[in-house]
Amino acid sequence: MTLTDKKRVIIIDALNMFLRAYIVDPSLSTNGDPIGGIKGSFKILQKLVRMTKPDSVVIVWDGPNGSKKRRSMDKNYKAGRKPLRLNRSVNNLTDDEILQNKIWQQTRTIDYINQMPIVQIMIPEVEADDVIAYVTKMSHYDNWQKVIISNDKDFLQLCDEDTVLYRPTVDEVMNTNRVVETFGVHPTNMALARSIIGDASDNLPGIKGAGVTSVKKRLSFLASEKDYTIDDVILFCENADSKLKFFSNIIEGREVIEHNYKMMQLYSPQLSIQSKTFIDNAIQNFECNFNQLEIYRKMHEDGFGELNWEDLKTNMNRIKIDCF
């Protein structure tokens, strides 16, 4: 990752981080209970702070019940997702007990992070995506390097001169140039392109025959920094010197594209004034503490056993010092 001389904030998609740890990390407590979600999240944090050397860390969780605004626009939003399952068996636990353990681990992870010099944000019925998008545009972080940590491609639209997306599962840093090289689309036009392609993971069908490759080839003008609109795309397709179904499908699917764009765009986060005020206060009035004794107490209580977290502790101490 290319680090600039500017101050740096890492903005972490918390659920994305926690679920990776929960699924993959096989750690058990001294009592034999799964604690991989907690312990694995610590390991991921440790790696991230070692790699990015941040001056500030913001962790954002999806609020309970997800996005109320998006659900009001589309009752099928994110419908049909398969239940999350561990990639291993856990002895002597029923499916219900595994679910309760997952809920406990997530809640406990939040408790641990509250003891660290990390801003942690969760707003009921608001998605982390919108909060993260808002944080990247806050005047508080003007002239900072912003590093979003998530595997979610929705954040590609936020990449700019000071903002990059780090995708941990593929160890890939996406800046503006990399986005254009990979997708043939400038971040400014990424929400528009994805509105045409669709997003199966969010149950948002796209235009038939439109994928990353075809959009890159047929709508190459989207690689420009110019902020194109749906009207621009429709007009281009109407004037295209071709009878390809790709163009006619886009023209006929305008309503689908418009709907998807409203659901996907993060340039204008779907946040109320109250939510924006809450985020502003959480960051600007953050009390920067590092309660190591409480963390150690929780570790002992949860049966952590051994955990080498020296890198994380060193960086948390540095962040705490920089807060004052």
Domain ranges within the chain, ordered by starting residue: 8-150+272-310, 182-264
Q: Tens digit of pLDDT for each residue in 136-177?
A: 999 999 999 999 999 999 999 999 999 999 999 999 999 999
Q: Tens digit of pLDDT for each residue in 17-36?
A: 999 999 989 888 988 889 99
What does the pLDDT read at residue 54?
92
**Domain boundaries 8-150+272-310, corresponding CATH code:** 3.40.50.1010
Other Cβ atoms within 10 Å of 87 Cβ, number:
8
What does the pLDDT read at residue 69?
75
What does the pLDDT read at residue 319?
76
CATH class of the region 182-264 = mainly alpha
User: Comparing 1 with 116, which gets the higher pLDDT?
Assistant: 116
Q: Tens digit of pLDDT for each residue in 78-129?
A: 766 676 666 566 667 788 888 899 999 999 999 999 999 999 999 999 999 9
In this structure, the strands spanning 163-167 and 172-174 are antiparallel
Close Cβ partners of 283 (under 8 Å, ≥ 6 residues apart) = 58, 119, 135, 138, 140
Q: Tens digit of pLDDT for each residue in 236-270?
A: 999 997 788 999 999 999 999 999 999 899 988 78
Please give the C-alpha separations between residue 216 and each of 196, 227, 253, in angstroms, as whole numbers. Answer: 12, 16, 18
User: Comparing 97 with 324, which gets the higher pLDDT?
Assistant: 97
